[in-house]
């Protein structure tokens, strides 16, 4: 998570053109200072696909070697974790898995802009946001096994983690139903005079066609909620391509209709995602209202372990995104060119993460299931008589 909520460029409210202060001139500051339509139609990019910077001044504040490596490590953790857990699903050791492969920059870059007190209301592919905020890997993996260590005690489908300690709300399976919740959390903070923090609600491109998306944006726009609505546009919603999802020129433009400032960034460029989300979070924390962000990326994997995309899309396009636009390769090239990461250090880091993931899996796979009594706990303060009787009957069956 971010240490200081600093942004380059001037934050805007609802206005049109915003002049950048001369000392802040950079491609990123110019983008953020642009008028609302230019921002929603344009694309903020700081780190080009070849790993070079658009300009040095656009690099977000505080991104030194340590910080850049922390971001890289966060992204690599998701990549390795996803690979291991998908393999586990294929081996029949877990029931389901959904990867965020190719979207690691959007996940980690947005997470890095949040502060510990902010609230995260995720969609399908943001477990890495929680992990980057400090959710232990074991806790995430416990949830996937639905074992005794799972905070939700096996009651959710795999890949639905929650983390109360880090204000990370459990994912809702119903696409976009989480967005009014994110706005509601933000409004609750605003009404309570609890300023200085914000809520970040996530969705996919498919989620922007759901009524709840429009409800959330409309409400946030009217009441100036301290919320950031972040869309990972990975260009597919299971088998529905972006071209069938909307006739809008960009997804970001949808926000403008609701009077919500809307940014569009290269979702495979960690620095662009960080800059856009920082700007939006800082604005919300100051009380200057909501922002909608479209991060343009690509779902290079299947939708989930239950899907086979070769049945419905041209996988040569996927290959291009995998091989030429990979967000990890992009950041790695940047780090290597600066002398911040050698090939040997990179390999050692990958080995270390791999070991951590394997150890977490081994520990959680051997943990038993949640205790039977948890079936009737959590709803009532004391277990009511009828549930107590049913539990006794169940225990009798078990014993018999």
Ligand X SMILES: Cc1ncc(C[n+]2csc(CCOP(=O)(O)OP(=O)(O)O)c2C)c(N)n1
Point out which residues bind ligand X (CB under 6 A): 124-125, 173-175, 203-207, 232, 234, 236-238, 299, 303
Q: Which of the choices Mg ion, ligand X, none does residue 146 contact, using the CB cut-off of 5 to 8 A by kind?
A: none
Nearest distance in Å: CB 231, Mg ion: 9
The DSSP H or E segment spanning 240 is strand 240-241
Q: What is the DSSP secondary-structure string of 263-332?
A: EEEETT-HHHHHHHHHHHHHHHHHT---EEEEEE----S-SSTT--GGGTS-HHHHHHHHHHS-HHHHHH
CA distance 43 to 294: 9
Q: Do the Cβ atoms of 72 and 97 come closer than 8 Å?
A: no
Contacts for 19-25: CB closer than 8 Å, 24+ residues apart: 24/57, 25/57
Closer to ligand X by CB, 79 or 303: give it.
Answer: 303
The DSSP H or E segment spanning 293 is strand 291-296
Q: Is 204 in the site for Mg ion (CB under 5 A)?
A: yes
Q: Which of the choices Mg ion, ligand X, none does residue 261 contact, using the CB cut-off of 5 to 8 A by kind?
A: none
Q: Do the Cβ atoms of 333 and 50 come closer than 8 Å?
A: yes
Nearest distance in Å: CB 74, Mg ion: 21
Q: Which of the choices ligand X, Mg ion, none does residue 335 contact, using the CB cut-off of 5 to 8 A by kind?
A: none
CA distance 185 to 191: 10
Q: Among this protein's residues, is 303 annotated catalytic?
A: yes
Residue nearest to ligand X (CB): 204
Closer to ligand X by CB, 109 or 207: give it.
Answer: 207
Closer to ligand X by CB, 33 or 182: give it.
Answer: 182
Nearest distance in Å: CB 255, ligand X: 16
Neighbour-count burial of 389, counting CB atoms closer than 10 A to its CB (0-12 exposed, 13-18 middle, 19+ buried): exposed
Site for Mg ion in 228-267 (CB under 5 A): 234, 237
Q: Which of the choices ligand X, Mg ion, none does residue 174 contact, using the CB cut-off of 5 to 8 A by kind?
A: ligand X
Tokens of 353: 């993460």
Q: Which of the choices Mg ion, ligand X, none does residue 175 contact, using the CB cut-off of 5 to 8 A by kind?
A: ligand X
3-state secondary structure of 229: strand
Tokens of 62: 């505080």
Q: Which of the choices Mg ion, ligand X, none does residue 190 contact, using the CB cut-off of 5 to 8 A by kind?
A: none
Nearest distance in Å: CB 159, Mg ion: 15
| Active-site residue (options: 8, 133, 153, 299) | 299
Closer to ligand X by CB, 273 or 353: give it.
Answer: 273
| Active-site residue (options: 303, 325, 330, 332) | 303
Nearest distance in Å: CB 106, Mg ion: 11
Closer to Mg ion by CB, 82 or 205: give it.
Answer: 205
Q: Among this protein's residues, is 299 annotated catalytic?
A: yes
Q: What is the DSSP secondary-structure string of 255-276?
A: HHTTT-EEEEEETT-HHHHHHH
Q: How far is CA 143 from CA 39, 151, 311, in A?
A: 39, 7, 30
Q: Among this protein's residues, is 202 annotated catalytic?
A: no
Nearest distance in Å: CB 303, ligand X: 6
Active site amino acids? 299, 303, 312
Residues that bind Mg ion in the complex, under the rule CB under 5 A: 204-205, 234, 237
């Amino acid at each position: 998570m971010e240490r200081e909520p600093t942004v380059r460029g001037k934050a805007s409210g609802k206005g049109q053109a915003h002049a950048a202060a001369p000392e802040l001139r950079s491609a990123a500051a110019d983008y953020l200072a642009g008028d609302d339509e230019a921002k929603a139609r344009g694309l903020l990019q700081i780190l080009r696909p070849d790993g070079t910077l658009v300009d040095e001044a656009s690099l977000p504040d505080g991104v030194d070697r340590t910080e850049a490596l922390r971001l890289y490590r966060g992204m690599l953790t998701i990549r390795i974790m996803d690979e291991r857990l998908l393999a586990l699903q294929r081996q029949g050791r877990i029931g389901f898995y959904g990867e965020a492969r190719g979207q690691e920059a959007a996940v980690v870059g947005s997470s890095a802009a949040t502060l510990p007190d902010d609230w995260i209301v995720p969609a399908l592919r943001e477990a890495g946001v929680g992990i980057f905020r400090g959710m232990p890997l074991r806790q995430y993996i416990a949830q996937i096994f639905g074992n005794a260590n799972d905070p939700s005690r096996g009651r959710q489908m795999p890949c639905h983690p929650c983390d109360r300690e880090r204000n990370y709300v459990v994912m809702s399976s119903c696409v976009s139903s989480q967005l009014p919740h994110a706005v509601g959390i933000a409004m609750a903070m605003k009404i309570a005079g609890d300023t200085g923090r914000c809520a970040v609600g996530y969705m996919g491109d498919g989620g922007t066609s759901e009524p709840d998306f429009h409800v959330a944006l409309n409400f946030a726009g009217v009441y100036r909620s301290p919320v950031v609505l972040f869309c990972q546009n990975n260009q597919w919603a299971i088998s529905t391509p972006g071209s069938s999802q909307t006739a809008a020129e960009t997804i970001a433009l949808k926000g403008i209709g609701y009077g919500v400032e809307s940014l569009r960034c290269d979702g495979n460029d960690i620095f662009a995602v960080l800059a856009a989300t920082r700007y939006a979070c800082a604005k919300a924390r100051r009380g200057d209202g909501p922002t909608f962000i479209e991060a343009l990326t690509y779902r290079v994997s299947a939708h989930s372990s239950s899907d086979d995309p070769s049945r419905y899309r041209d996988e040569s396009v996927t290959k291009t995104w995998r091989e030429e636009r990979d967000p990890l390769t992009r950041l790695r090239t940047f780090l290597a060119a600066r002398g911040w990461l050698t090939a040997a250090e990179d390999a050692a880091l990958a080995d270390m993460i791999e070991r951590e993931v394997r150890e977490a899996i081994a520990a959680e796979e051997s943990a038993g299931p949640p205790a039977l009594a948890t079936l009737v706990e959590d709803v009532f303060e004391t277990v009511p008589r009828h549930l107590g009787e049913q539990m006794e009957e169940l225990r009798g069956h078990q014993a018999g």
